[in-house]
Every structure is written in structure tokens, then in C-alpha cells.
Structure 1
């Protein structure tokens, strides 16, 4: 449950820079005879739509991914923009109250009921409130008719039957105030200053969904109930149901259930609001003592363009190509030896109700705000004057076609959740939803008709000098050096007069590998029919685990590991070892530098990322079927043809230094550093990087360490999961994995002995301007690692999450969120950690800590309630049912099992073994690991004023 301040973006639409008739005439030779730019975009015929007599709209679609699941959304065109002066924050508050009692689920019975069905509060069951709408979401199993019926009843209750009990309202005030408090900080304080400007002093600037402290604390119960009666009505609502359901049966169910919803007599008009354009330019510089770096935004606002016709959709594609090419230019700028900013860029997109915007931004290196400004503006001046090149456009089109073809290949595997946003947008904005077939057809037909002249014209159309806002956000200590409006305007004028050369799109075209590797052979092959896996041992020692699946049509994921990692290196080399894979991975490969490699891979669905962690090195990769050979070539090249680009290294180190310069002005960063320093005695391997430590990273040493880690593939285990067959993939495995160098070395990462103290302790950090606190409670120690023990710890984590939310949030209104988390490791020692985290007001730190320990002690003394164990078991069952149909799950499970020397088949019996979770077993594990002498208490309190 959250308040969402996302702007209501259009689908990145734009005004046609030529009139529609001109455009139609100009491109009719390129368009198919059956396609006209004036045609209205077709609506997805796969969704059943209807409208009840009371005005409620519904969308129902059958979709079997994931199987036996359905997602239900209730959208209401009610947001903070409708609030009167005495109602600020009530739209969001009302969203909270929907979980605190409805007609058929009084008090907290709704959350309790759904948790017993395996639905997780916060991650599955959720809602958001924005300026213009409030949306509730409920993903539930669809294979239980009673649960499906009750899920629909939940949506019906949310539509109009919130109880809004006075006692529950008063309890929820504290929860919302803590949500408000948690959002306070440098960003919020600065936003309070600049929002009126960038929202052109419109009503939106005065209606942030979170509301005001004064109103949340003091509104009358009847004020909230009246707001509910006014606005929660069927003619402002839509029900969206997508999943593994019978559409006709669902439609028959919802019609009578929602058909009796009533619109109020003398209902108020639901006015539409917008952000008006003012024609002039605006400037503001805001500072805050906790702002870690200077960020500059230039926002040029334009009237929003609707996406109603084929021509509108085509222009949407034009803008997408523009943004993609601009992004590539800025990525190249960051690879310079002395980059002009930490990061920067710009794009054309949606802004807020009624507006689109062209936005430029950059995060400045300390003292270099002018340089960053000049770099960003100069690049867009270059684009405006000279445009992009034909080769840049061809690459962007190639990337677009790859994405369109990939999405179309997965059309029958598309997740139900992915349909919802489109239907929401249709209801809220009136934009038609393209079917999978139409999106593919139009994309393929239209992309070839887009000319370089059209894309380049967007620079002139959107990068203009009117309706322009310049916003600077900076640390307080840099305030004296910030430019004023006249200075910034002078910079614009200087750059307009500057002679700027056109972009040189230097392109290489040569093989990635100088010569193809000599293929290896399979010396052992073992099948695991129960897992659907095959294990190959290659002649060079590489072990390959294959799991072909039909979960996706064009998705192949790869993960590889080898024992070793940074633990093999001393403290002097630690940082060089830590950044070795990053340095090499950003330097290009073989004959290609990083920029040329990106160009070489355009249009390919491929990604390969080497890594070096503390105890392992390896790589993660993904690919589509047609690019699988390229993927294997890249993997091979990262072993035998890595590069060290000193310019990239120097630029990266500069950007790291700049981003760290003011890090300790952030209270949360200081808090995290203190925790690590106390727990690990300031060990360099457990502390955050400092500006001074950046200079300890030696590029040549990093490169040498990388080559050493990948010099011998004989102890690598490679797991491959996805849409392939063994005969298809084996030749590539033999050539590119079987051809890797092998020396037969045997390595194991040593135990570095970096552990928290044996006995617990307490530390309080005083930092921050806001009257808010953070609490972190940890238990550490040795662990009896086993499958059963891990399950018991997972149960303890889940049950404590339930109990802490019930106690600290629902009963005591002291937090917005609280979490318990368990982790356990097999290497280098059997160890565990168990943490509890929450934020609250300073005066509630101790009382809530007492309450948290009371809940822990209840479990230790009496064991958990059986109903909470049932919730855990049902959640695990429901989660695993979905995970077992996902490539990413199997990749992680198989690779992790081999890494831990465990039999991956244990997952097949996991659901049966859940019966081993009992009141006594959880009580036992709580007493074993939540021992008072192993407790570490860390508290962040505000600075003493």
C-alpha cells in the first residue's frame, strides 16, 4: 500500500511536425496500401469490454501465464487533485482504509483472509494513489472457485463498501504520518520548493497525494466518509480482470455483483485539471545540507499529443528512435577519460496531465556545473543542427525490430500483469490498446517508413527557448558557487553561437574473434529425468548443466561460476580485484572498444556480463535463439580476448570520486557505514568505498587479476536454461566452452574470518535534520545448515513479518513498514543473520523496540499461532507453483545448488516437507538463533538541534 506520485504519462506521444495530410501524402509510397495514417488505432480484440448501466467499465481477458492465477485491478478516477483545502491527503488516506475494514471483511479480516490463501500483503496485495487516480491490485489463485468468488467480492467492497470505522481511522493516522515521515529528507524538502515552479503554479502543485501533517492529524471522520461517498462511485470506476479464467463466467459473475453499485444523488462533477503552459521561462536553484551532489534539469514543456491514430503511433516510434540515439551519444560521452559529468542525458516524453516535455539533465562533478551544462546542451545543439547519422538510425531501427520480434515471439507466454497497464491507460486516458498482433504488424510496417529527416526534425521541434524550466538542486555548501538565471541564460546564448561540428559515427566491421576455437568433446553425460536436466563434462573440465524448457519461446539464460574470487587476494589488491570485472567489462572486447562493441551488437538479443565476487568468478548471460552463437563468442572472448581501456578506466574512476564526494552528507549513508564499521571492525572488505580509496584501484593490477581469474576454465560450472534443445546447443557448447583454456588448477576461496563480534552491542548515530529515526536489529552466529533448518528459518522470517506488521503497524500505528529478514550461508562457514528493520519517529523508537521483542519472545516461549504457520505454508505453495514455470528460478536454483554442492532435486519434495514446519519447530529455531546475547541494536536519531 503506497502513495504514488508518478506522473500520468502518455505513451510517449508527440505532435506531428508536419500536418497529418502532408505526412500522409509524403509517405504513402512507403506505407502498405491497406494502412493509412488517419486510421484510428485498432483496439485489442482479445479483451472483453463492457459498461454496466451504472457506468462501471470492465475489462476481462483470458491469459494462462501464469497458469491458475488471475490479477484483478480496481481503478477509480479519484486522486488528490479532487481534494478540497480541508481534504488534502484524504484520497490516499482512504486507500489505506480500504484494507482496514469493508462490508464483507471487517477490520483486518481482509488481509488475514488473503494471507491464508497465500497472497502476500505489500508485494501481491497492494494499491497506489496518484494525482488523478487510485488503483487497487489483487493477484490471486484462480483454481479455487471459492477464493475466486471472494476475490471478486473484495473488489466489490473496495468499489463502495469501505466501513470507515472511527476507531480504525484514528489508528491509521499514525501509519500515514509515518509514511509521510519516511519520505521526508533532502529530496522532499527541495521538492516542496520547486514543485510550484515546474508545475506552473497549477492545482497539481498544491495537491501532493501524501497530503499535509495538519490535516492527517486533525480531519473529522465524517469528512473522510463524505469524500468516499462523493467520489467512490461506479461511473468513475473500472474493473480489470486478466488471467487463467473463463471469461464468460467471470462476466456473468461481475454483472450482478457490481450492477447494484449506486451513483450518489446530486453527484459532484469530476472536473479535469491540467498544467497550463505559460509561454515564459523559469529558473530556480534549491539547496539542502543533505543533498549529496548537484543535479541540473532543463525541462521544455509542450502540449501533450494524444495517440489515437496510426499517424500518432508512428510519431511515437519516431520519438522512441530519437531517444534511443540520444542515449547512445551520452553513453559514449561517459566513457571519456575526463567525462564532463557523473551522468547525463535527455529525452522526449510525457510530463504531467496535458503536457509532454523535452528534458535534459546531468549530475555535476564537484565544482564543474558549467562544464556539465555545456556538455549536455552542446550535444543537443549538435543534434538540433546536424541531426543523427543514417548509420545511427539504422542501428536504432534494428534494435527496435529485435524488441518487436522478441515480444511477438513471446505473445502466448506474456504475463497477465503486463496487460493491466494498457487497460488502465485506456480507461484513464482513452488510448486504444493494440493487440499483440497489431503491435507487431504496425511496428514492422511503420519502422521502415521513418526517415532520418523526420527524426532530426524533433530536435528543432522540441528543443526550443519557450516554456523552459531550469532547475538546479545542490548541497548547501555549494550554494555560493551556483549560477543565477542570468548566468545560465548567458551559457545558453554562448552555446548557440558556438561552432559545433557534426557527430562522427565511426564504425568498425571485423570479426569479434581472430580465429574460431578448437572444439572440445563430451567425456561424460548424465541425465536427471526428474529435474529435466542433463549434465555434460567437457574434455577441458568445464561442467555444463542443461535444462531445456518451454516456459518462454525465445529466452535462454546462462550462469557460470568458478571457486576463487577476491578472497584469494590480499587487502592491498582487494579493491583492484573487486573492480576488475567492471573495468574489463566496460573496456570493450577483442578488436572493439566499448562504444564499437555496442554498435557491433545492435539488433542482437544478447548480453554477457563477467563478474568477480568474494568467493567466485563467472559470468551471467542471456540470449535469443538466433543470437546464441554471438553469445557464445562473447563468452569465449571474455576469457581469451579481454581489453583494458585506460580512458574508460580513468573516466569511470573520476565519476566514482565525484559521486562519493558528498556521500557522508546523507544520514542513511553514515548510518550504514557505522553499522558495517562496528560489525566488521572497519575491515576494508566490508566498508563503503571512499574517495581516497578510489586511488588504490590499480588498472593494470585489476586487468592482471581479471586475466588470472579467467585463465583456466577447468573448474567452471555453466548452467543453461531456456528455449533450446540439446542437439541445437551442443555444437556451440563444444566449440566455445569446450575450446576454453584449461590448466586443471584446483582452487577454493579461503575463510577470511570476517565476522561480527560474538556478543551483541548497541550503537546510536545522531545524524539528519528531520525528526525521524531508523532502527536495525540484527542477530548473527553459527548455523546448523540443512534443507530443513533453512525451511524453519524461512518460516520464522515469514511469521515474524506478519506479527510485526500486526503489532507495530496495525495495533500501535507506529510504523508505515517493518520487515524481518533471514539469511544463511554454507560457505565459508555455516552462518546466519536475522534482521528487523523499521523507521519511526524518535519518541517511538524504544516503545516499538519493546513491542518487537515481545513478539519475538512470544514465539520463543509459546511458539507461533498455527494460523500463521498455515499462512506461510500456503504462501510457499503458491509462490513455488509459479516459480517452477520460470527460467530465472531454475537458473538460480540449479546454479546455486551446484555452488553449494547440494542436490537440486530437493526442490521437488519441498512442498511435501513443508509439513515439517510446526509450532514446535519454529519455536525451537527461534530460541536457537534469536538469542539475546547475539543481538545488535543500531539506531539512527536526528541531530540534536
Structure 2
């Protein structure tokens, strides 16, 4: 569940559909007539509603949005939105809106008990990643993406939505079973941030009702409420006038509308429905301050929130004003980003944003992550940049770059409009229903934005920023480690800082932009030496004159997206432990610096308005390049690739700033129980091996700037063993000139290299390791098994089936039967090189009194699979899930890029993807049972357990005894 709804508001507009009969389809609204037949827009005209959506309202008040969209094909996404969240709860109902969300997965009229999850898994819908829901302050939303090519599945999917809307069974038995699950979700969220939130929320939310209505609720209510209370809550609030169904996908809208009217028209409306109060966060017309510390907090965060009445986006003028805010956000954050890349950055991270908040408010929010002991420096740096803007404004060059980036994003979205995913449409209509946000068509959004952007002026952007950056309704919130408490300012000190900065003689910002080209000289063109086609997967393999290999996979999955990945064997494995830290940081340091003649700041400004991102990397066994571009920026992308090979740099400021930030981030990490737990786990497995355990400040000091650049240059000195995989919307004729001009021009020495086998293996004999750290009375468990692996296509499929089946069984046993966990699952990772190895893991969080019994239950589920194998029904769930996932993945550039790179690195047949489903469909229960017995030795399970500090555990036990 989501504790807070997204705070950034999209473009919104009231629903505004007048009801003349049982339902009213909405075609082109009268407002749509304004659209863009002329060169100028009427700023007071209402924004038009998306005319490609079929909308309506039934006589009982139930609303719907239906849109046909074939991305992805044979799929439909359905959302049921209910304008009911925790804000409506009474004191005796705290947490029941969220509890009710859970109960809608635990017994419906047509899907009693756990039949819903079981049925959907049998048709290929994954629980958690596909089938899900969330509860917020003001709404509860259920999501169901399902196949649309099977009429029976589509029919049942709609029935699920209808049952969710009003037909939860809410049996006492299932309610009592779910109490433990909710408690584990609540327990999992406990920690430093939750404890601090409880202290600062009342300030941040101005003492409003929202501060006392967190969706998770309270333990007292969750564990003790009378089932009749939640039944009454359901009857009172789950009603058609507060609900909407959103359906987007590869469906027939007319047929879908008829089915919705058939299923939802009979929904009951209470005779005397309780008014749905819309709660607000009132402005207090004063400034507030709160500083909160916690012993488990690992860094200090400063936040300045300046609250304002919400500005709804209803008219074209409202939309234009929102664009002005976007431009302001872009410009101020570019300055703060530049500041963070200095040799001695004043903060670890910082940002400013004008956006929506909560309860009828917007806000200008500024935040920064402080360096240890340097809160004043970070605070003043952020405020100083806001004051600098206030006194001097922005430059015309900054303004033009920000507008060009928004224009580019607008063009990119428009180009891809027929490839837009159904989920993004669903979220637009969800915001329209819940928040009265506008829902523009692709055409309207593009045209309105395109026409409005040239009308924006720098003075208007500055005026908007100054309207929001004021000294009223301002909150200063500080969250810090307990150890920093004595160093934190009080409210009077912070007010003095504001005044001091106001008196400073600030200088106007100097926008330094280079006129130099990225590369000092053009590459010497090479040639394509050989070509061969792979008709099975429609790829082409090329060898260039310098030995570089290229795999081309032209696609039509996107209209203008090109992915580029390159790899070469070697990586950090070729360097000694003494050089490891320099080698490990080399790729990131070069990536953070400039290229050729442009330093990092100049490069960032040069790339503004371009849809391109290219990055080098060095991992343990590989070095390479990854990134993406559109056709317009292809030349820039290949210039960057050539530059990263031939003109890399590690700038002094970037090196010093990176190391400084890393040291600052290490300072308080041992406050965090999860870090201590992970650190002890890694050390139990790998001793003090610097390549496997978290590095400390002393080891960080081993990073040498000159050596890091030397190692980087060594890794990219010879392109002859590099393979480039290029996937996406290009033709061979379009891409080949870039291959010849840039890739074939890369340096080549013809050296032969392989990554080194470091022989870093886990102990053969398992250990049990208990870490004691933390205040909260909860336990974290990780069970692991390691060993040699026989890597092959069929073995991999059987192991993948084992992972899915065991994960499902663990959910059924540990969550649904024993009510002991909120989430759990099994993970089986395997590798081919340097030698075949696997790692298996089960993880979960629970209460201290249950962790041992749940460990036993988890191991028991493994042993059941080893003894009996899976049922055919459980195996069929895996088969249909893989089939349904592959249907979508085969039409994704990212999938093909990843598969082609993986095939090259693992030296496997890239055409296997076309035979994969045959192996999936032929896997048997016996094969899964065999790999379970082969790899899952339950007599040699590593057990890693996190418990609270001994003193905290003793205090908890004493408190429990008193109860």
C-alpha cells in the first residue's frame, strides 16, 4: 500500500459530465472547439477532455472511462478507483480503509477465500507486480492488468472489478487471519523515518486531520476491532457514487461499455448516504519549525516548505502557468546540480520544486541532504541560490535551455503517441476522477504545449518563482541522526540565517557555456569488413575494419528510440586488490566528468534539448557503454561514444566532490540496522574481501585520481574485443555511416583478454548469524544456499519454475495460512562464468516470536517440493505466466537489447528466445523436483537473522509481560 499519494499533480479539470439519462457518453466536448485551428489560444477557455475516451455515468452515480489502446496488444488494464481513504475513518476505524483493501483479496462473492489470487495466477497474472492495490488518505485504488484475447478471462476480470466495488464477503474468519498480515506490514514500516514522521507530521500538515489518519492505522484498532465495524464502513462508503472504473487496452469500447452497464447498474446506493466530506489543510499564516532526531537515522535532511493555496489546472491559462512553473523548476535545479558538482559541494544532494502538496495546497519545496556536521553550510547554500534568483533572476541562456528541453520532451511524447502504454492513460484518467485533473488527448497536449511555449517569457517565469518564494506559511523541517542533535540549529538560529543571507552581497549567476565542439578533431573513418544475417531473430552481425563487432536489431516497437549497449571482457577482475577501489570508481568518475573539450557543466548544457544519454561503465567482469538516443541525436550519441574511448577525463572537481560525498554518506551508516545486518551478512560469506563487503573511509582513501583514469584508459584502449548491440527504430542505411565514422575509427590493438576468475566463493559449510541492531521489535530473516550450477537452457527453465512455484507456496503458507508475514518469496540466481554457480534466497520480515517457526515452515515447503514435486496446477501457473510475459517482452527494445547482450556475454545461442516457450511448456513436475533435490540442500542453509538490540528486546519483553 502507498502511505502518501503522489504529490506532483498532473494537468486536471473537473469531470463536468451532465447526466441526462442513465449514462452519458462524452464525445468531443464544446471546449474542444477551441483546439488550435488558429495560431493563438484563448487563455480563459477550458481545456478540452480527451475525445478518444468513452466516458459515462450510470443512474446510480457510477462512472467509467473506456479507451481502446493496443500497446501492449492482447492486454487490458482495469483500475477501480474509490474516493474512500483513511481520511474518512473515525477513531474506532483507524486503518480500516486499508484493511478493507486487503479484504478485497480475501473473499469476494464470486471468488471466496483466496480463490481470486489463485484464479488470476492460473491465467498469467502475477500477484503483487500485476494484481495490486493501494490505500491513500483520500482514495483506494485497485489495479488489474489481464489478457484481453480470451473472452472468458475478460469477462471474469470485469466480475472481479464488480466484486471489488461492492461484494467483499468480509467473513470473520478471513478478517481475523488478515490481522496478522496487516500487523507485519505495519511492523515492516517501523523504523527511524516512521518514528520521526510521527513527530513532524502535525507541523507539516498544519495540525489537520491528515496528520492523524495515516492509512496503515493503529495496532490497537487493527488487532481488536469488531468485524461488524469494517462491514459497516464497507456498506457506508463502497458505493457507486464514489467509484469509477477505468478500462484501457486492446478491447472493443462499445462491447465493454455494454458489459459495464450490465454489471454495475444494479449496485446499491444507501437510502441516506453519508456526505463525503472533502478535508483540507488550512494555511496558518505563520512560519513553523521542527527538528527531529533518531538514533537510527543515517543522514541529516533539511526541508523548506512554503505552502500556498492549490492552483487547479482548468483553463488554457492555468496550463500555461504550469509550464512557467516547470521552466522555473528546471532552471533552479540546474543551478543546484551545478553547485553539487563542485570540488567541495555544500551538500550531498539538493533540489527545489514548485508542485502540488496535499489537502488543497501547493508548495515550493526545497530540500538538501547535509554533510555531517555541516547543516548550516548546506542550508545557506540552498537558500542563497533562491535569494540569488530573487535578486537577479535567471539568464536568457538558462531560460532558452529549459524551454528547449520541455519542447523536446513534448515532441518525443507526440512522436511516440501511438506507442503510448495503456498504464499511462489509466493514470491520466485516474487523476481526472480523483483529483479533477485535466485529461488532454495526445494531439491537444502536443498542440497546446507547442503553441504556448514560445509565448512564455523570462520575466513571467521569474514572477512565478517570486510568488512562491515568500516568507510566510513556511515550514523548516530538520531530520537528523541522534548524534547530530547538539549541532542542529533552533528556530531563532534558522531565522538569523535567512536574514544573514538576505544581507549578503550576492553576485549574479554567470552562465558559462562553451562554443567548442565536443571532439577536438573528427575521427578517421573506417569501414565495415563483413556482414551476416540471422533471419530467425532478424538481426545482422557486422565486423568493422578495426575488429569491433556490431549486432543490429532494427525494430518498430517505438517510433524514435535507439538503445546502444557495448561490452568487452576484463573489468575490475584484471586489477589487484590494491588497485580495486580506483578501478571500481573509474567508470563513474569518467561518466561524471566531461568529454573531450567540454567539462561536465559544459557538457550538461550542451546536451540540454537533446534526447541522448550515453554512459561508460566498468564492472567486475566487463567494461562497456550503455545508453539511448533518438534519430536526431544519433551523431551526438556516437560522438560521445568516440569521446569516452579516445578523450576521457576525470576532472579535479568531480573527483574531489565524489570522494567527499562518499565519505559523508559513510559517516552515519552504522546507525541503520539494515546496513549493519547486510554488512555482517556479507562478511560472514566473504570475510573482509574488499570486492564483496562495503568499503569504509580508509578504503575509500585508496581511490587515486590518476590511477583511476589510467585504468579506465586501459580498459577502453582496445576496441577490437568490444561488441556493440544496437536496437530500435533505425534502418541499416541510417546507422551504417555512424558505424563507419565513429565505431570503426575506435583505437584497436588486437589484444586478447578474458576476465579473471577471482575464486571468491561462499563457505561450503553453512553458518547461522544473528545481528542485533535496532529499536523496533521485529525480525528480518534471510535463508540462503550456495553452490555449483550446471548452466544449460533446460536447467535454467526448471530452476525458474522452481523459483516461481516456491514463491507462491511461501505466500500461501507464511502469509495466508500462518498470517506471519506481509511479503516473502524465493529468488534463484545463476551464472555461467567464470564457473557455473547459483545462489538461492528466501527473505521475510516478521515478529520476534514467530521468526523461528516461519523459518521451519519455509524449509518445510522446500522439503515438500523435494519429496513430492510441484502439482501440475502449480506448474501450469508458471507456464502461463512466462507465456503471457513473453508476449509483451518480445515487443520491447529493452528486452531484445538485454537478451542479445546476455547471449553474447554467456556465449549462448541468441535465437533461443524463439524456442524458449517450447522448453517452458515441456518442463515437468519431475524436472522441477529434480532441480530442487539437486540444489536445495536444506541441511546446509545459511541463516541470517536481524533482531533488535538486546536492551531493546529485553524492554519489549518486559512491556509485553505487563500487558
TM-score by length of 1: 0.97
Residue 916 of structure 1 deviates from its aligned partner by 2.8
Matches within 5 A, 1:529-548: 529-548=535-554
Matches within 5 A, 1:21-420: 33-420=39-426
Residue 248 of structure 1 deviates from its aligned partner by 0.5
Paired residue for 1:602, among 608, 612, 633? 608
User: Are the equivalent residues in 2 in contact too, given 1:7–1:353 (CA < 8 A)?
Assistant: no
Paired residue for 1:687, among 669, 683, 693? 693
Residue 31 of structure 1 deviates from its aligned partner by 12
Q: Which runs of 5+ in 2 are unaligned?
A: 14-33, 952-963
Paired residue for 2:801, among 795, 805, 808? 795
Matches within 5 A, 1:574-589: 574-589=580-595
More displaced stretch, 131-140 vs 759-768 = 759-768
TM-score by length of 2: 0.96
| Cα distance between partner residues in 2 of 1:312 and 1:888 | 37
| Cα distance between partner residues in 2 of 1:863 and 1:934 | 20
| Cα distance between partner residues in 1 of 2:870 and 2:39 | 69
Residue 347 of structure 1 deviates from its aligned partner by 1.3
User: Are the equivalent residues in 2 in contact too, given 1:13–1:305 (CA < 8 A)?
Assistant: no
| Cα distance between partner residues in 1 of 2:196 and 2:554 | 52
| Cα distance between partner residues in 2 of 1:10 and 1:265 | 35
2:860 match: 854
Residue 256 of structure 1 deviates from its aligned partner by 1.2
User: Are the equivalent residues in 2 in contact too, given 1:762–1:937 (CA < 8 A)?
Assistant: yes
Secondary structure of 2:827's counterpart equals strand
Residue 231 of structure 1 deviates from its aligned partner by 0.2
| Cα distance between partner residues in 2 of 1:514 and 1:371 | 39
2:713 match: 707
Secondary structure of 1:869's counterpart equals helix
User: Are the equivalent residues in 2 in contact too, given 1:13–1:316 (CA < 8 A)?
Assistant: no
User: Are the equivalent residues in 1 in contact too, given 2:785–2:840 (CA < 8 A)?
Assistant: yes
Residue 432 of structure 1 deviates from its aligned partner by 2.3
User: Are the equivalent residues in 2 in contact too, given 1:10–1:306 (CA < 8 A)?
Assistant: no
1:845 match: 851
2:895 match: 889
1:696 match: 702
User: Are the equivalent residues in 2 in contact too, given 1:552–1:723 (CA < 8 A)?
Assistant: yes
User: Are the equivalent residues in 2 in contact too, given 1:759–1:933 (CA < 8 A)?
Assistant: no
Secondary structure of 2:915's counterpart equals helix
User: Are the equivalent residues in 1 in contact too, given 2:7–2:355 (CA < 8 A)?
Assistant: no
Residue 760 of structure 1 deviates from its aligned partner by 1.1
1:817 match: 823
Secondary structure of 1:683's counterpart equals coil
Alignment of 1:450 onto 2:439: no
| Cα distance between partner residues in 2 of 1:917 and 1:940 | 37
User: Are the equivalent residues in 2 in contact too, given 1:3–1:92 (CA < 8 A)?
Assistant: no
Residue 310 of structure 1 deviates from its aligned partner by 0.2
| Cα distance between partner residues in 1 of 2:924 and 2:918 | 13
Per-residue Cα deviation, 1:734-787 (whole angstroms, up to 9, x for no partner): 110000000000100111010101121110001100001110011100011101
Residue 459 of structure 1 deviates from its aligned partner by 2.5
User: Are the equivalent residues in 2 in contact too, given 1:509–1:600 (CA < 8 A)?
Assistant: no
Residue 501 of structure 1 deviates from its aligned partner by 0.9
2:651 match: 645
| Cα distance between partner residues in 2 of 1:348 and 1:804 | 44
| Cα distance between partner residues in 1 of 2:490 and 2:609 | 44
User: Are the equivalent residues in 2 in contact too, given 1:524–1:536 (CA < 8 A)?
Assistant: yes
Alignment of 1:667 onto 2:666: no
| Cα distance between partner residues in 1 of 2:949 and 2:194 | 18
Alignment of 1:784 onto 2:790: yes
Per-residue Cα deviation, 1:284-327 (whole angstroms, up to 9, x for no partner): 11000000011110100000000000000001111001101111
1:24 match: none
| Cα distance between partner residues in 1 of 2:471 and 2:679 | 45
| Cα distance between partner residues in 1 of 2:753 and 2:2 | 50
| Cα distance between partner residues in 2 of 1:506 and 1:224 | 62
Residue 9 of structure 1 deviates from its aligned partner by 4.3
2:4 match: 5
Residue 515 of structure 1 deviates from its aligned partner by 1.6
Matches within 5 A, 1:628-777: 628-777=634-783
Q: Which runs of 5+ in 1 are unaligned?
A: 15-27
2:446 match: 440
Residue 521 of structure 1 deviates from its aligned partner by 1.6
More displaced stretch, 516-525 vs 253-262 = 516-525
User: Are the equivalent residues in 2 in contact too, given 1:9–1:353 (CA < 8 A)?
Assistant: no
| Cα distance between partner residues in 2 of 1:641 and 1:393 | 30
| Cα distance between partner residues in 2 of 1:258 and 1:31 | 39
Secondary structure of 1:778's counterpart equals strand
| Cα distance between partner residues in 2 of 1:419 and 1:45 | 13
Per-residue Cα deviation, 1:26-68 (whole angstroms, up to 9, x for no partner): xx9x995541100100100011000000000000000000000
Residue 13 of structure 1 deviates from its aligned partner by 8.7
Secondary structure of 1:341's counterpart equals coil
User: Are the equivalent residues in 2 in contact too, given 1:13–1:307 (CA < 8 A)?
Assistant: yes
1:23 match: none
1:17 match: none
User: Are the equivalent residues in 2 in contact too, given 1:65–1:414 (CA < 8 A)?
Assistant: yes
Residue 523 of structure 1 deviates from its aligned partner by 1.6
Residue 365 of structure 1 deviates from its aligned partner by 0.7
Per-residue Cα deviation, 1:248-305 (whole angstroms, up to 9, x for no partner): 0111111010000011121111011010000001101100000001111010000000
- Aligned pair in 2 of structure 1 residues 33, 554: CA closer, same or farther (>3 Å)? closer
| Cα distance between partner residues in 2 of 1:359 and 1:635 | 37
Per-residue Cα deviation, 1:388-433 (whole angstroms, up to 9, x for no partner): 1100010111111111111100000000001011101111122221
Residue 3 of structure 1 deviates from its aligned partner by 3.8
Paired residue for 1:528, among 534, 540, 549? 534
Q: RMSD of the TM alignment (CA)? A: 1.3
User: Are the equivalent residues in 2 in contact too, given 1:781–1:934 (CA < 8 A)?
Assistant: no
Residue 933 of structure 1 deviates from its aligned partner by 4.0
User: Are the equivalent residues in 1 in contact too, given 2:40–2:451 (CA < 8 A)?
Assistant: no
| Cα distance between partner residues in 2 of 1:827 and 1:7 | 42
Residue 484 of structure 1 deviates from its aligned partner by 0.5
| Cα distance between partner residues in 2 of 1:10 and 1:683 | 47
Q: Size of the alignment, in residue pairs?
A: 930
